[in-house]
A and B are shown apart, each in its own frame.
Chain A
Amino acid sequence: MVKVEFLGPIGKETIEIEAATLSDVAKRLKEESDLAEWLDKCAVAVNDTMVSDLATRLNEGDKVSILPPVCGG
């Protein structure tokens, strides 16, 4: 199982899913209707490192973070 957490304004509870790669996470999250407005503008971190490849391998206990659009300052 990997943990998927939704940061900032997304306002969704952390979920645990079976996923071997980020591609599996994408497939699973597309089934969640409350994420439809978010996924195309969110960045992704695995274990707190930003990632840019859907083939990224995931291991048991990994943390995937979903980061919506930012505005610091």
Chain B
Amino acid sequence: MELYDGPLDVKEIFGRWLDEQAASNYGAYIPFVGTIRAEDGIEALSFDIYEPVLKAWFDSWQEKAKARGAVVKMAHSIGDVPVHTSSYVSAVFSPKRRVALELIEEFVEDFKANAPIWKYDVKEGKRIYAADRSTPMDGSGLLA
């Protein structure tokens, strides 16, 4: 798991991951790139991350992937990320395509639902919490 201040250098990250696994004998490598779209007058998105819980979440996914003979990777931005740049990339390597295709979907969807990351729209330099696009994590409401 890799965290960076500001936008991701997508080509460097994907190229490096490819090089790292060059001799691992995986038949499939499926990358996913999340790019900030220009909409609703935003200049950028901005992110807060709670790293200890994110790391635990990611470690559990590495275990799940390992049990299926695969490897998951991810990188995410902290702070402001301008439109038309990327804040999130992930990838799955597996011996054959079917496992990788299934895992990338499960991994990215669970990431959206349970990775402890908070998103803000940046408009005129101000951060506005993206409340309407955010999802309560599993187990929410315990203290209510």
B142, A69: Cβ atoms under 8 Å?
no
Instruction: Give bound CA distance, A72 to B34, whole Å.
Output: 10
Partner of A72, one of B52, B111, B140, B141: B111
Identify which of residues 82-129 in chain B touch chain A, using a CB-to-CB cut-off of 8 Å.
Answer: 87-88, 108, 111-120, 129
Partner of A44, one of B52, B88, B143: B143
Instruction: Return chain A residues, CB-CB under 8 Å to B135.
Output: 69-71
Closest Cβ of chain B to A30, distance in Å, is 8
A43, B87: Cβ atoms under 8 Å?
no
Q: How many residues on A have C-beta within 8 angstroms of the other chain's C-beta atoms?
A: 30
Closest Cβ of chain A to B52, distance in Å, is 4
Say yes or no: A43-B136 contact (C-beta < 8 A), given A7-B50, A69-B131, A73-B87: yes
Interface residues on B, range: 35 or more
Give the secondary structure class of A's interface. Answer: mixed
CB-nearest residue of chain B to A40: B144
The 8 A CB mask of A5-19 against B (1 = contact, 0 = none) is 001110000000000
Closest Cβ of chain A to B76, distance in Å, is 7
Question: B1 at interface (Cβ–Cβ under 8 A)?
Answer: no
Closest Cβ of chain B to A71, distance in Å, is 4
A69, B56: Cβ atoms under 8 Å?
no
B117, A43: Cβ atoms under 8 Å?
no
CB-nearest residue of chain A to B119: A71
The 8 A CB mask of A31-51 against B (1 = contact, 0 = none) is 000000001111111001111
Instruction: Return chain A residues, CB-CB under 8 Å to B87.
Output: 73
CB-nearest residue of chain A to B76: A72
Instruction: Return chain A residues, CB-CB under 8 Å to B113.
Output: 70
> 10 interchain pairs (CB within 8 A)?
A7-B48, A7-B50, A40-B141, A41-B136, A42-B142, A43-B142, A52-B139, A69-B134, A71-B112, A72-B88
Spell out A's residues near B (CB within 8 Å).
7-9, 22, 25-26, 29-30, 39-45, 48-52, 54, 65-73
